[in-house]
Amino acid sequence: MLQEGLKYQDQDRIRITQGMRDQLLDFEYLTGDLTKRPTAIGELVPDHPVAVGPHDASGEGMGGVWLPAVTNSNLEPTLWRARFPSHVTSDLVTFENPHGSINNSQLELAGAIAHNDVLQQAVNCTGRTTVPLGDNIATTAWQHKGSASTSGPTAYLLRINSLHQRHYRYLAKADYIAGPVNQMADDCSRLWHLTDSQLLAYFNCKYPQERPWQLVQLRSEMHSTLIKALQQQRPEPQSFLRELSPKMVTGASGKASLPLSQALTRTSMERRTQSSFLFSKFSPLDSAPASLLPAVDLSGVDQWRTTYGPSARKYHWTARRL
């Protein structure tokens, strides 16, 4: 937004647009919040995730699932969904509506933010890493960068994403999952002919887990916030950032819920290696290799997660005497 303003300056003057004003207000909010508490290392450096889950969005709505990724977790297998209002759907860019102001990637980004909000309401993620998986490359790239080269709904959504992570003190490491295997999230965002109870029964039948699925609702204030952002309106942070009641700490850090040989390796492929390249797994074609497990449980979902580790140093650092 601020770079956009500099492009249209008139001699020594810059016209402050509403979009720029909205961003400055969010920066002011963050500045005040940063003076109240330090930023914990767990909010910056990724660790073994507390939960992994794919999400998706369609022209009708958004949804996704979360699966616990640590032992002794109090998180049940969770699914959620929320419809988009008609005025958002009618403003979506399509072949029939080329002049719309909202594109599919922005709907996917809204779904990714809602996805993390659902998890925050269920478990204590303070200082922990979450791994939302999406099948839209643009959305995943925006989340990694935290910014975009456009000044439309994407900019508003990314600021909500940052404010949300800062407030709830977690680190979201978004990753990519190929569309053809993103079946569970697709069902959440598309099966609107099913009632909630029918969708829950459908999941327990088609995607059975060790513990039964639970269906939760997206908070109304978060749903409203995301719709406003899609319309390039700034909601007050206090309207959607609420304090949560204390919850049980979820799992032990670094503990996988399945043996590494089962949960963290690709079948018929080389063992996954730690990587700092954000999109090293992305394929030119949106197709899933036949050697991968179906993404219908933790093993199948977790194989799409990028692992992280300390970078190798060229030289060993030692203190020097003067």
pLDDT in tens, 253-269: 444 444 433 333 332 33
Per-residue model confidence (pLDDT) at position 105: 95
Q: Report, as an integer, the average pLDDT of 23-28.
A: 93
Q: Report, as an integer, the average pLDDT of 184-197.
A: 97
Q: Which residue has the higher pLDDT, 146 or 282?
A: 146
Per-residue model confidence (pLDDT) at position 313: 61
Q: Report, as an integer, the average pLDDT of 1-29.
A: 82
Q: How far apart are CA 63 and CA 57, in angstroms?
A: 6
% of residues, the chain, pLDDT over 90? 64
Q: How far apart are CA 42 and CA 7, in angstroms?
A: 37
Q: Which residue has the higher pLDDT, 188 or 7?
A: 188
pTM: 0.83
Least reliable range by pLDDT among 51-60, 175-184, 234-243, 285-294: 285-294
Q: Report, as an integer, the average pLDDT of 213-231.
A: 96
Long-range interactions of 282-291: CB distance < 8 A, separation 24+: 282/137, 282/176, 283/178, 286/135, 286/178, 286/179, 286/180, 287/178, 287/180, 288/178, 288/180, 288/181, 291/266, 291/267
Q: DSSP state, 238? A: G
Per-residue model confidence (pLDDT) at position 246: 59
131 neighbors 144 (Cβ within 8 angstroms): no
pLDDT in tens, 148-162: 877 789 999 999 999
Q: Which residue has the higher pLDDT, 244 or 250?
A: 244
Q: How far apart are CA 134 and CA 276, in angstroms?
A: 19
Residue 321 has pLDDT above 90, yes or no: no
**How many other C-beta atoms lie within 10 A of the C-beta of residue 301?**
27
Per-residue model confidence (pLDDT) at position 70: 87
DSSP secondary structure letters along 248-262:
-B-S-TT--SS-HHH
Q: How far is CA 28 from the centre of its chain?
A: 24
Average pLDDT, the chain: 84
Q: Report, as an integer, the average pLDDT of 7-34.
A: 85
Per-residue model confidence (pLDDT) at position 312: 63
Per-residue model confidence (pLDDT) at position 319: 47
Q: Of 5-19, 140-154, 247-261, which one has max mean pLDDT?
A: 140-154
277 neighbors 176 (Cβ within 8 angstroms): no
Q: How confident is the model at residue 309 (pLDDT cuts 50, 70, 90)?
A: low
Q: Which residue has the higher pLDDT, 293 or 217?
A: 217
Q: Which helix (H) or strand (E) holds 167?
A: helix 153-168
